[in-house]
Amino acid sequence: MGCTSSKAKKPSIIQNQSHNNIHSEPSLFIKQNNMKFIDVYEFGASLGKGSFGEVRVVTHRITNSQRAVKILPKDLNSQAQTKEFLNEVNMMKIIDHPHIVKIYEYFDTPRKSYLVMELCKGGELFEELLKRSTFSEDDAACIMKQLFSAVKYLHDKNIAHRDLKPQNMLLESKGDITNIKVSDFGTATLSKNKSREIIGTALFLAPEVVAGHYDLKCDIWSCGVILYILLTGRPPFDGNTNEEIFSEITKCELKFEDQYWSHISSEAKDLISELICPAKFRLSAKDCLEHPWITRRSAVSQDPNAMRGALSSLQAFQKKNKLKDAITSFLTSQIATSEETKELKQVFVSIDSNGDGKLSKIELMSKYLEMMGENEAKTEVKRIMKEVDTDKSGYIDYNEFIKATFNSQMLISKENLRAAFNVFDTDRSGTINVSELRNILCHGKNTPDDVWSEILREVDSNGNGEIDIKEFEALVMRKL
């Protein structure tokens, strides 16, 4: 096993090295699982099939949590398919946004690839649209604000989704349009330069995509088409074939017929006109979030008690023990359910006043100024950024916020702790050893066993060289 039960103090260089080798960014927990898929997950109902493959509900055998899996069969050109699959995985690993579907892990075999994602039980926005026929302006604005926030976040990272449509927007729960997530990054690309490949769904393609020379703003056109459909139940450009649709799109003759638009506000029409237009005149996602139709109709209501609780938790957060910090990050990103984090997500969105999917010093200051004087608020925000901003981006990302504000009694339940412990305890021995700890937290770094033994010894209260469930629970639950 390579670990020791000795309690003698190691030189300080070992302690420093051990701390430097523990990382807590949620993206680092998203790894390839080399076990057989069926040994890790139990298959449930099919959620849909297409040319890409199939999406099914699965249940994680250890944690008993339900997730979704995208199953991609491979043909003779499996090398190219594997490259495309890993491109999607690597794209989604760097995404951390409350309105974008997150992934947990992936499997890649000679015959199939599996991408395990969070399960959105409300189904597609398209299905909700079919039930309602159209949405009110207030409901449409609520939906579009979430979409614009996700698109701004992606565009800030130079990611073009390239297939935005109601079928790729999922509801966390049935009928709840206040919690929508963008999904399906199979066609997404890093778009620093102009793209030429015609990819996407015909009804939602921008004219420059049809022409084969486009950039990030192709997503904004798609947003305009989505908004048009939400308000009227019909697309702005249609045809019996893709060629006919492309011809109408290229003409770009946007019409607001009275039979569909007489009851729709001029502000809504103005926004659509600035989305479905030539790329050089098209709004950015930031502009969309600041448009009057969005700002006046999509205000976020927030429970003041939840807000105060989250702000107090941010103040109290201290990252003294990096092992606890990493395990907590694992719990909140890999084990906790969307229902358990729903209230904190709403607080995050409420603080995120510009909708870019991350919290700035200015946004935090605006909230703390409601609780204290300016000098005290500045001091608090400076300290919070130092403690909570793990990746040193200058912002508090979504999962950094969740990790820092979770309620240990509610979110990190005994059941969740046991589930996390079982994920670490891969040999089912009832304890976590050095090798198991390293496999979860080391992320491929070649770190000597004595370093990991030192890390383990910090919480190994009985000195047997391993972590049992009581020591694991004590580490996470105690105030450090």
131 and 272 in a single domain? The answer is: yes
Task: Answer whether residue 149 shows pLDDT above 70.
Answer: yes
Select from 97, 118, 139 the last residue of a domain: 118
Q: What is the rounded distance in angstroms from the CA atom of residue 91 to the CA atom of residue 153?
A: 13
375 in a structural domain: yes
169 and 219 in a single domain? The answer is: yes
317 and 195 in a single domain? The answer is: no
Give the pLDDT confidence score for residue 439 in this predicted structure. 77
1 in a structural domain: no
Torsion, Cα 229 230 233 235, to 10 degrees, reads 0
Across 149-162, average pLDDT: 96
Residue of 163, 184, 219, 397 with catalytic role: 163
Q: What percent of the chain has pLDDT over 70?
A: 89
Number of neighbouring beta carbons within 10 Å of residue 1: 11
The region of weakest confidence among 3-7, 76-80, 120-124, 307-311 is: 3-7
397 and 446 in a single domain? The answer is: no
What's the pLDDT tens digit per position in 464-479? 878 899 888 887 776 4
319 and 365 in a single domain? The answer is: yes
Give the pLDDT confidence score for residue 365 in this predicted structure. 97
- Torsional sign, CA 161, 204, 55, 57: positive
Query: To the nearest whole number, what is the mean pLDDT of the chain?
Result: 87
Q: What is the rounded distance in angstroms from the CA atom of residue 157 to the CA atom of residue 142?
A: 24
What's the pLDDT tens digit per position in 166-196? 999 999 999 999 999 999 998 899 877 778 8
Give the pLDDT confidence score for residue 434 in this predicted structure. 78
3 in a structural domain: no
What's the pLDDT tens digit per position in 213-238? 999 999 999 999 999 999 999 999 99
- The long-range contacts involving 386-394, CB below 8 angstroms and separated by at least 24 positions, are 387/317, 387/318, 387/319, 388/314, 388/317, 388/319, 390/24, 390/25, 390/319, 390/325, 390/329, 391/25, 393/358, 394/360
Give the pLDDT confidence score for residue 363 in this predicted structure. 97
163 is a catalytic site residue: yes
Q: What is the rounded distance in angstroms from the CA atom of residue 113 to the CA atom of residue 108?
A: 4
- Place 146 in a pLDDT band, splitting at 50, 70 and 90: very high
Side-chain half-sphere exposure of 20, counting CA atoms within 13 A: 9
Select from 405, 435, 461 the last residue of a domain: 405
Give the pLDDT confidence score for residue 11 in this predicted structure. 39
What CATH number does the domain containing 34 carry? Answer: 3.30.200.20
5 in a structural domain: no
160 and 255 in a single domain? The answer is: yes
Structure tokens at 273: 């006109």
Global confidence as pTM = 0.88
127 and 108 in a single domain? The answer is: no
Q: Does residue 74 or residue 263 have the better pLDDT? A: 263
Give the pLDDT confidence score for residue 98 in this predicted structure. 95
68 in a structural domain: yes
6 in a structural domain: no
If one counts the domains in the chain, the total is: 4
What CATH number does the domain containing 394 carry? Answer: 1.10.238.10
Give the pLDDT confidence score for residue 378 in this predicted structure. 96
Instruction: Report the alpha-carbon angle 419-422-427, nearest 5.
Output: 165
16 and 42 in a single domain? The answer is: no
Across 92-98, average pLDDT: 93
Which residue shows structure tokens 């305009």? 224
229 and 139 in a single domain? The answer is: yes
What's the pLDDT tens digit per position in 120-143? 999 999 999 999 999 999 999 999
Domain housing 335: 304-405
**Residue 358 assigned ligand-binding role:** no
Select from 233, 264, 297 the last residue of a domain: 297
262 and 397 in a single domain? The answer is: no
DSSP lists the bridge partners of residue 49 as 54
7 in a structural domain: no
- Place 13 in a pLDDT band, splitting at 50, 70 and 90: very low
